[in-house]
Structure 1
Amino acid sequence: MLFGAGIGVYFALHQEPTWGLCILVLAIAALALLGFRGGLTAGTVALIIAIPCFGFVNATIRTEIVSHPVLERDFYGSISGRVIDIGRSSAGNPRVLLDNVTLYGGPQVARIRVSLTGDEVLPHHIAGRVVLLTARIGPPGRPVAPGGFDFRRLAWFDHLSAVGYTDMPVMVLEGQPSAPVFRARMILADGIRAGMQEPAAGFAAAILTGDRSTVDQEVLADLRASNLAHLLAISGLHMGLLTAFIFALVRRGLALIPGLALRYPVKKWGAVAAMLAGIGYLALSGASVPTQRAFVMVAVVLTAVLLDRPAFTLRGVALAAMLILLVRPESVLQAGFQLSFAATSALVAVFEKLRRYNWWRDEAKGWVSQYRPGIALLITSSVAGLATAPFGAFHFNQVSQLGLIANLMAVPLMGAVIMPAGVVAGVLALFGLQGAALWVMSFGIETVLGVAHWVAGLEGATRGVKAGPWYILPMIGLAGIWMILWRGRGIWLGPTLFAVALFLWQASSRPDLLISDSGRLIGAMTPQGRALNRSSGNTFAANNWLTDDGDPSDRPYAVARWQPRQGQGWQRVSLTNSWHLIAVTSRSRWPSDIPLCDAKTILIVAAWSGEVPLPDQTNECAQVWQRDALKQSGGLAYWLRPDGFTLQTVSDAEAQRPWVR
């Protein structure tokens, strides 16, 4: 917690710290550690001071290590590079990740990501091959609204210099392919899909190889609505199920041989086998950040088994988190890290407390011992769901209200049918006998997808949640940690802090008016929800605005709420508290019948640059925005009051950090 707090302070800074400041922070940490000589209390205080300092410096060093060139302006032309990943965009289009990139006639870059928006079907045999394409790319985008998600920071730590799209064919250049592990993943994924029917085939390829490029979009929507999307991403659940199956298989198999079981530590042999299986799964699945995180957690547990220490403890969870943050300190800001450790910490804490009760212990008799697996599943799903719900709601603005039902039905199938069948299929594939195992796996997957579809279709399956202020997340995290670690009456401070966070979250307000950095997309809050002025274009911004409002409506419904008064080349819409917005859509001349401005009117002239003079009548407007000013400021957010307004722009919220250009 303390190490992560130091990392959080680093990312909260408005400008990049100097190396002089880092040296000063290290000096403070060194002086604090001298407090160890002063006794237990002084030592505790010393650690509270020193550990966040080390986290702060570690994040600074990591930012410097991943430094790479970032494209500063849009580029259109010929591009070549090696394919190191294949995936899908949020719109469902195939996309490729390229390294060793050359922009012909352009600047030097690191990695770029290109979506294929044409009709071309992307063959997986291009994995590891050098390709040539013509694409339009640009720097990673700014937030679509003040305080919104900053993709540039994520791109910086992923070595991503630019993103873009092409609707032209991809040419594969001659030469030997590289990236053998990635090619092996794609070959295995193709083999899985060849032996199964869709949509189970895409699901199986995703959970075994990490290739999600063929997962059906309707399946994805059902999984998200039923809170089963975590089954698709290779994470702690998959790594844990795989290694647990291998551990149990080896340990129990060797235990059947009395000569081995009595003379040798077959339990530790099982742990070693499970560790090797985890390493193989990590490499085969592409070693994505969530998979790395899952492997570290499993490795800590298996190492504890080898050392004859308790496998599941809060110390083990803390050690796993510490190792991950040492290597990838940016993980502390990512939803996957927060969800994983929230669930794991809560589960370990709950089951540690259950072990203290006689009725739960292994030697206990009665109805608990008879139904222990079912009770454990119910407790696991309930605790994990409750622990992750606030973090999921904050990051994804959605709560799956029936997720517990779906998980109780689907997770046992993952552990008892799907993952074991996948392991058996992998072994039998060496002899060409994987057909039966793949059939069993397909049956399990189709059942899980059926559960997801059924739950997603129930009334009230999901509920939208509006975006909260940034400080809500640290409050929720601190409340959870307090409830897990504290002993005694003071534990009620945790629920109190959590309740305060929920109250502040609910009391926060969304902007009354949102305007994109191009000025073409406008979103005005109405009693029915946010109204959008355009049915196409700026799709990412439009979807994000509605999601952050907690509005389940899709874009056509939001456009239907837009009811302006309009003339030739202009629109006027009424806003809250007697405010108005006028948007000039004419590109050639000033509309002759446009309404007069007043002190409660905001004027948007998106098609006109600042060099073009506006009529004197616009001087009466509360604010006037033209194309150049909008491009410089980024998106706008207005909170309108009867006596004035509060304005926030994306540029005002931008920090002076390496990932911000």
Structure 2
Amino acid sequence: MPQGLQIGPVAAGRALAGELLRQRGFLFPWVPVALGIGIGGYFALPVEPGGGAELVLGGLAATAGAAALRGGALSGPVLWLLAMIAAGGALAAWRAQFVAAPVLEWRYYGPVTGRIVGMDRSASDALRLTLDRVHLADVAPSRTPARVRISLHGDQGATTPVAGLTVMTTAHLSPPAGPVEPGGFDFQRHAWFARLGAVGYTRVPVVALRPPDPGATRVFRARMALSDRVRGVLAGDTGAFAAAVMAGDRSGLSREVTETLRRTNLAHLLAISGLHMGLVAGFVYAALRLAGAAVPYTALRWPVRSVAALVAVAAGAGYLMLSGGSIATERAFVMAAVALVALVFDRRAITFRALAMAALVVLVLRPEALLSPGFQMSFAATTALVAVFGGLRGRARLRSRLLRGVMAVVVSSSVAGLATAPVGAAHFNTMAHYGLAANLLAVPLMGMLVMPAGVVAVVLMPLGLEALALTVMGWGLDVILFIARTVASWPGAVGHVPAPGEWVLPLFAAGGLSLALWQGPLRWLGLVPLLVAGGLWTQVDRPGILIDDRGALVGVLGENGRALSRAKGAGFVAQVWLENDGSGREQAAAAALWPAQGRVRHLTGKRRAEAATCAQGEILVLNHDPPGDPGCEVFSPRRLHGLGAVAITRDATGLHIRSARAVAGRRLWNDAEIRAARLWRAQ
């Protein structure tokens, strides 16, 4: 073999080793990235791995980690990478087993008893209760879900749902539904990790059976008590907004307010995240430090800065507990705690190491968080902010404090908005065109007025004087709501984009992380996956025909957009289909496009199904099973039960059918046989 062919790999290995040596001291932030790759790999599997997969992967991680300790400049980092990937897969597999709980396998109608452990609002703006300690009539405890979620419709009588109250009602329950189209959001997976075994609704008034449990729901009751105190002073949307910010309670928020904030990219003000945690901890730290410095005795004898930092950590922990502990809040608290402890030891506060620690804590505790919009948007924004402000550190500074503050708000809002825009558009199919303007007006109010007043209100609550501070807080929130409604009313405030393919977000993440974390000129190679992701998104091809999993709705894509077979009914499915198309059209408008005659027909009702006939080459969709073969391609409940939602494309070679169940694979959360085998072993 010619010598030149042998030099190539050697030279490449030396170059790679040299590049890794230049990254020495900067590789720790890649640890949660590798962990995330392993977690993502587990969730991407088409079939649930066999029992003991977490032990095998854990053994591989330990072996690779041990070898990495003796590895060289090149082999060491590579082995650590493999160890963390295997550890991520092991964590995800273990977590999926750990949260295992029964899932309702049939439709149920009857008495439901349980304890209220959660309250929020559904997409139809109905109050929704999450119950544990569930009892269903004639259902064995071993088959009863650990938790159920019930939407309350109709007149609910005199009973007011409160945290910890044991209630009874008569409800319709069903198993968590699968994706409404192949490759869509998998609610079954989300419900599995929330230990939610059934969802449904009731039109029967909820009846209180036992008073609130003072034990296990203590934190939840404290949150709701705080929310009630806030809404007792501030009424309407303002009070609901304040309760969401202070206690993480969104049950009082109207759909109109939520949608308005989303249309202006201000919905992040509802999520207790880095902004809120930073403001609370920062306000407590600054107030205590100023108070300590104002007293000569403490200023000269006490380590005021360290004491203020540690008290601010405690305040952040309390806020984390009262807020409900969402993913964004956990990330924000870990970063704030690391930053404040760094101040105690005179170290730099905000670094990629702090961000990596926050990501590790979240992923180790809840690996499934990797797939959530909250995790992705929170860490995308924070990574971009740390990278940009780290790059600006030491550059030319403005002398005016006012100008520095204004520029900080402009830069942070712009950077966070750009970093989260692809993630938000991919998950929610919308882009707020005037979001930057809304944030530049609203965020300073949040920082200078709303959150400081909220902290003061909590301090004054034991004295019964919280109304003074909450009134000031309400003024700020009223202005923010005015800004949101004004900006949302501007023409073209919201744009719509189609749902991207499965590789788009991972490519965006790879490119963004390379630009932010890699050291040296090779970081600019991160632009390649970003450009590829953008190109793939622009070329996304939506399915020509969509059929929901019960045969209740059909959508056909035409020149004027997607035509829907019904103007009412299956509203959630219709909304998701149209959003994924990048269409802002309402269901009724899409139904007006449905052709009177076409190759796709949709018939509803048992009698029409019994008399249905069709010609060869047609597609017939029914919401009841026909007695025989109508003579064409038929999709009825019997067939759809094994397929789930269906996407069909037609070309010269014929029909190409893609089912939601085939795409989702056979996993713990969607396959009764696998679930039964694993739960039997666990028992």
TM-score band w.r.t. shorter chain? over 0.9
1:583 aligns to 2:602 (yes or no):
yes
CA distance in 1 between counterparts of 2:160 and 2:35 reads 41
Alignment of 1:187-206 (within 5 A): 187-206=225-244
Paired residue type of 1:231: L
SS for the counterpart of 1:188 is helix
* 1:636–1:647 CA contact under 8 A, matched in 2: yes
Residue in structure 2 matching 1:36, options 69, 77, 80: 69
CA distance in 2 between counterparts of 1:519 and 1:476 reads 36
Q: 1:623-646, CA deviations, whole angstroms, 9 ceiling, x for partnerless residues?
A: 222331122211111122244232
Q: 1:115-140, CA deviations, whole angstroms, 9 ceiling, x for partnerless residues?
A: 00113278656321111111011111
Residue in structure 2 matching 1:598, options 586, 595, 616: 616
1:657 aligns to 2:667 (yes or no):
yes
- Change in Cα spacing, 1:590 to 1:227, as seen in structure 2 (3 Å) is closer
Q: 1:139-162, CA deviations, whole angstroms, 9 ceiling, x for partnerless residues?
A: 111111111111011111111111
Gaps of 5+ in 2: 1-32, 672-683
Q: 1:388-431, CA deviations, whole angstroms, 9 ceiling, x for partnerless residues?
A: 11111111111111110000000000110001111112222222
How many residues align structurally? 633
Bigger mean CA deviation after superposition, 61-70 or 283-292: 283-292
* 1:94–1:122 CA contact under 8 A, matched in 2: no
* 2:555–2:565 CA contact under 8 A, matched in 1: yes
* 2:568–2:588 CA contact under 8 A, matched in 1: no
* 2:177–2:188 CA contact under 8 A, matched in 1: yes
Alignment of 1:433-582 (within 5 A): 433-565=465-597, 573=598, 580-582=599-601
CA distance in 2 between counterparts of 1:473 and 1:402 reads 23
Alignment of 1:580-659 (within 5 A): 580-585=599-604, 587-588=606-607, 597-599=615-617, 601-609=618-626, 612-615=627-630, 618=631, 621=632, 623-659=633-669
- Aligned position for 1:128: 164
Bigger mean CA deviation after superposition, 219-228 or 267-276: 267-276
* 1:290–1:336 CA contact under 8 A, matched in 2: yes
Bigger mean CA deviation after superposition, 320-329 or 33-42: 33-42
- Change in Cα spacing, 1:512 to 1:158, as seen in structure 2 (3 Å) is same
CA distance in 2 between counterparts of 1:554 and 1:418 reads 36
**Percent identity of equivalent pairs:** 43
Shift of 1:650: 1.4
Bigger mean CA deviation after superposition, 624-633 or 436-445: 624-633
Shift of 1:527: 1.6
SS for the counterpart of 1:371 is helix
- Aligned position for 1:576: none
* 1:126–1:172 CA contact under 8 A, matched in 2: no
Shift of 1:349: 0.9
* 1:210–1:285 CA contact under 8 A, matched in 2: yes
CA distance in 1 between counterparts of 2:104 and 2:161 reads 29
* 2:113–2:168 CA contact under 8 A, matched in 1: yes
1:408 aligns to 2:440 (yes or no):
yes
- State the TM-score, normalizing by the size of structure 1: 0.92
- Aligned position for 2:381: 343
* 2:168–2:206 CA contact under 8 A, matched in 1: yes
- Aligned position for 1:326: 364
- Aligned position for 2:280: 242
- Aligned position for 1:570: none
Bigger mean CA deviation after superposition, 217-226 or 287-296: 287-296
Alignment of 1:264-279 (within 5 A): 264-279=302-317
Gaps of 5+ in 1: 566-572, 574-579
Q: 1:357-409, CA deviations, whole angstroms, 9 ceiling, x for partnerless residues?
A: 2x13xxxx646x55111111111000000011111111111111111000000
Bigger mean CA deviation after superposition, 46-55 or 638-647: 638-647
Shift of 1:348: 0.7
- Aligned position for 2:675: none
Bigger mean CA deviation after superposition, 20-29 or 309-318: 20-29
CA distance in 1 between counterparts of 2:105 and 2:337 reads 41
SS for the counterpart of 1:173 is strand
Shift of 1:204: 0.6
Shift of 1:582: 2.7
Paired residue type of 1:94: L
Shift of 1:110: 0.2
Structure 1 segments of 4+ aligned residues over 4 angstroms from their partners: 121-125, 589-594
CA distance in 1 between counterparts of 2:112 and 2:399 reads 69
- Aligned position for 1:112: 148
Residue in structure 1 matching 2:79, options 46, 52, 61: 46
1:161 aligns to 2:197 (yes or no):
yes
CA distance in 1 between counterparts of 2:230 and 2:554 reads 46
Q: 1:460-493, CA deviations, whole angstroms, 9 ceiling, x for partnerless residues?
A: 1111110111111110000000010223332322
CA distance in 2 between counterparts of 1:587 and 1:75 reads 22
Shift of 1:113: 0.6
Paired residue type of 1:654: A
CA distance in 2 between counterparts of 1:640 and 1:354 reads 53
Shift of 1:447: 0.3
Alignment of 1:362-441 (within 5 A): 366=399, 371-441=403-473
CA distance in 2 between counterparts of 1:191 and 1:38 reads 59
CA distance in 1 between counterparts of 2:446 and 2:157 reads 31
CA distance in 2 between counterparts of 1:546 and 1:261 reads 62
CA distance in 1 between counterparts of 2:609 and 2:518 reads 67
- Change in Cα spacing, 1:175 to 1:4, as seen in structure 2 (3 Å) is same
- Change in Cα spacing, 1:32 to 1:126, as seen in structure 2 (3 Å) is closer
CA distance in 2 between counterparts of 1:657 and 1:277 reads 41
Bigger mean CA deviation after superposition, 23-32 or 486-495: 23-32
* 1:410–1:448 CA contact under 8 A, matched in 2: yes
Alignment of 1:226-265 (within 5 A): 226-265=264-303
Q: 1:253-294, CA deviations, whole angstroms, 9 ceiling, x for partnerless residues?
A: 111123322332211111111111112112222333433333
1:87 aligns to 2:97 (yes or no):
no
CA distance in 2 between counterparts of 1:38 and 1:162 reads 50
- Change in Cα spacing, 1:533 to 1:237, as seen in structure 2 (3 Å) is same
CA distance in 1 between counterparts of 2:91 and 2:321 reads 26
What's the C-alpha RMSD, in Å, of the aligned pairs?
1.9
SS for the counterpart of 2:606 is coil
* 2:609–2:622 CA contact under 8 A, matched in 1: no
- State the TM-score, normalizing by the size of structure 2: 0.89
CA distance in 1 between counterparts of 2:587 and 2:439 reads 30
SS for the counterpart of 2:431 is strand
- Change in Cα spacing, 1:511 to 1:122, as seen in structure 2 (3 Å) is farther
* 2:159–2:208 CA contact under 8 A, matched in 1: no
* 1:296–1:324 CA contact under 8 A, matched in 2: no
Shift of 1:87: 1.3
* 1:4–1:332 CA contact under 8 A, matched in 2: yes
Residue in structure 1 matching 2:334, options 280, 291, 296: 296
1:148 aligns to 2:208 (yes or no):
no
SS for the counterpart of 1:119 is coil
Residue in structure 1 matching 2:130, options 97, 122, 125: 97
- Change in Cα spacing, 1:23 to 1:78, as seen in structure 2 (3 Å) is closer
* 1:139–1:163 CA contact under 8 A, matched in 2: yes
* 2:327–2:362 CA contact under 8 A, matched in 1: no
SS for the counterpart of 1:525 is strand
CA distance in 2 between counterparts of 1:36 and 1:198 reads 60
CA distance in 2 between counterparts of 1:134 and 1:257 reads 63
Shift of 1:17: 1.9
* 2:118–2:131 CA contact under 8 A, matched in 1: yes
